[in-house]
Amino acid sequence: MKKQITAIFTAAAMGFSVTGCMRADAADLMLGVLPSDFQPMEETQAIAQGATLADFAVRMLQSADANDQNTLLSPLSVMYALAMTANGADGETRTQMEQTLGLEVDTLNSYFATYRTLLPQEEACKLRIANLIWYNDQSDFVPMNGFLQANANYYDASLYKTPFDAKTCDDINRWVKKETDGMIPHILDSISDDAVMYLVNALAFAAEWGEIYEETQISENGKFTTENGIERTVTMMHSTESTYIADENASGFLKYYADGECAFAALLPKESMSIEAYIASLNGGALHEMLSAPKNCDVRVALPQFETEYSTELSAILKEMGMPLAFDSENADFSKMGNTDEGNLYIGRVLHETNLSITPKGTVAGAATVVEMQCNTGMDVIPYETVNLDRPFVYMLIDCKTHTPFFIGTMMDTAQ
């Protein structure tokens, strides 16, 4: 459900370009804020931090209330959004955000700056990230230079000063729709009088399978059974993969995309265990270790063709994960973000939307995370395995360099 946004907006969506989406009277305030010298994180260090993202992904999935519905989250999107926002936080607010994200802000900055250099950029497999900021020139809110400098240094962000009105709302929606190839067609209903700034982080993923499914591998009469026992007729794609993953409660596989730098991962719980119970049993460190050390063997796989979208408000989840102070209208401390005489800044809502499509040719995915700032007026190699995803399962899109999921979700019902 779309909701009204009233201040800072951080979205993860597909694409980069601002051309044709920005109003003519928007002034680029980053013209005088150039990236300064900083020490990036070593690639080996960034790869070693992969367990942090895996842990965040698992905790967020565990805190999400699926209610027997399909879920799809982009932990990379949410972490980027919150890391950018955390550059404006101070005191205990900053500490709680760091504890929730798993790293100190300075380390997050270096990590995400380095992470962008590791992204696959081949034509057949692309994962791209970009950042853009809208700033209200009709407000007395003045962003801090240090906050802007951090965004320029580590996130390569542009910042535009513009009146906040219906035209700006249309610009933002048009930009998001364009840069997600229509996957997130509408993110912002309106801009209220309290709006101060919108920070937009853009994430894009599109990839072909390393081995595209042939017609002989596709069955139009496959079966998928929900946890409630409802049987669905689905298009099932069959293949033999070479990478097997498992823990004591589930078995699964990796199916690689064209360049081998990213993969689709699926985990099918044993029949006696519900998806809810399996998610509760997950551990971020153990998941990262499993993804880092898959077993090489033949895996006969049946994967349903599906498209799913998901929308949720994350404030309750993030409070539960350990950062309630950021949502406290009286006590949140975002003094490093900027100055205003209108009241105290705090996070009002964190809206998250995702869309993903799995086809015989490959995968496309888009996500949007909106951070609204309000002003308070180990197994042995098995020679043969079978994983038939004909009932609810957990799945991920993973970065094979850091062995971390940048999308994670549950497929509960192919008809949703």
pLDDT of residue 17: 43
Q: Look at residue 378 in the predicted model and tell me its pLDDT.
A: 38
The helix/strand/coil state of 321 is helix
Rounded to 5°, angle at Cα 413 from 411 and 414: 90
**Which pLDDT belongs to residue 57?**
96
Amino acid at the residue 327: F
**pLDDT value, residue 2:** 35
pLDDT of residue 402: 87
pLDDT of 388 reads 87
Q: Is 101 left (phi over 0), alpha (psi -120 to 50) or beta?
A: alpha
Q: Of 283, 301, 308, give the one whose Cα is nearest residue 412.
A: 308
What does 149-201 look like in DSSP terms, one character per residue?
HHHHHHH--EEEEE--SHHHHHHHHHHHHHHTTTSS----S-B-TT--EEEEE
Q: Residue 221's pLDDT is what?
A: 93
Whether the CB-CB separation of 352 and 314 falls below 8 Å is answered with: yes
Crossing angle of helices 75-86 and 91-101, rounded to 10°: 160
Residues of the chain with pLDDT under 50: 1-9, 11-17, 19, 378-382
